[in-house]
A and B are shown apart, each in its own frame.
Chain A
Amino acid sequence: MPRFYFDVFDGETTTVDRIGLDLDNDLEQVRDLAIDALPDIAREKLPNGDRAEFTVTVRDEAGFDIFRAILSFRAEWIGRTKG
Chain B
Amino acid sequence: MFERLIAGLERRDELSDIEKAIIEGFRFRVQSFDDGQELVAEGSRPSESCLVLTGFTARAQFLSDGARQISAVHVPGDFVDLHCFLLKTMDHSIVAIRQCTAAYIPHSSLREAIAASPHLGRLFWLATLIDAAIQRAWISSIGRRTPAQHIGHLLCELHERLDLLGLVKDGSFEFPPTQTDISDMVGLSLVHVNRTIQELRAKGLVAWSSRVVTIPDLARLKRFADFDPSYLNLVKEPR
| Assembled-state Cα–Cα distance A41/B195 (Å) | 10
**A37-B195 contact given A21-B179, A21-B190, A44-B146, CB 8 Å threshold:** yes
**A44-B147 contact given A18-B198, A19-B197, A21-B179, CB 8 Å threshold:** yes
Report B-chain residues with C-beta under 8 Å of the C-beta of A8. Answer: 191-192, 195
Number of CB contacts from chain A to chain B under 8 A:
47
Report B-chain residues with C-beta under 8 Å of the C-beta of A36. Answer: 189-191
Q: What is the number of residues of chain A that contact chain B, defined by CB distance less than 8 Å? A: 17
| Assembled-state Cα–Cα distance A50/B190 (Å) | 27
Distance (Å) between the CB of A16 and the closest chain B CB?
Answer: 8
**Does B198 contact A15, Cβ atoms closer than 8 Å?**
yes
**Does B146 contact A6, Cβ atoms closer than 8 Å?**
no
**Does A17 contact B190, Cβ atoms closer than 8 Å?**
no
| Assembled-state Cα–Cα distance A37/B189 (Å) | 5
Instruction: List A residues 25-57 near B (Cβ within 8 Å).
Output: 33-34, 36-37, 39-41, 44, 56
| Assembled-state Cα–Cα distance A52/B199 (Å) | 20
**A33-B198 contact given A44-B146, A44-B147, CB 8 Å threshold:** no
Instruction: List A residues 51-83 near B (Cβ within 8 Å).
Output: 56
| Assembled-state Cα–Cα distance A56/B190 (Å) | 12
A40 contact from B179, B189, B199, B202, Cβ within 8 A: B189
Distance (Å) between the CB of B121 and the closest chain A CB?
Answer: 43
A21 contact from B147, B194, B198, B199, Cβ within 8 A: B194
**Does B147 contact A6, Cβ atoms closer than 8 Å?**
no
| Assembled-state Cα–Cα distance A39/B194 (Å) | 15
Distance (Å) between the CB of B179 and the closest chain A CB?
Answer: 7
**A6-B197 contact given A21-B179, A40-B147, CB 8 Å threshold:** no
Distance (Å) between the CB of B63 and the closest chain A CB?
Answer: 15
Closest chain B residue, CB of each to CB of A29:
B190
Q: Which residues of A contact B (CB under 8 A)?
A: 6, 8, 15, 17-21, 33-34, 36-37, 39-41, 44, 56
| Given pairs A19-B198, A34-B191, A40-B192, 8 additional interface contacts (CB within 8 A) | A15-B198, A17-B198, A19-B197, A21-B191, A37-B191, A37-B195, A40-B147, A56-B191
A-B residue pairs in contact (CB < 8 Å), sample of 21: A6-B191, A8-B195, A15-B195, A15-B202, A17-B194, A17-B198, A20-B194, A21-B179, A21-B190, A21-B194, A33-B189, A33-B190, A33-B191, A34-B191, A36-B189, A36-B191, A37-B190, A40-B191, A40-B192, A44-B146, A44-B147
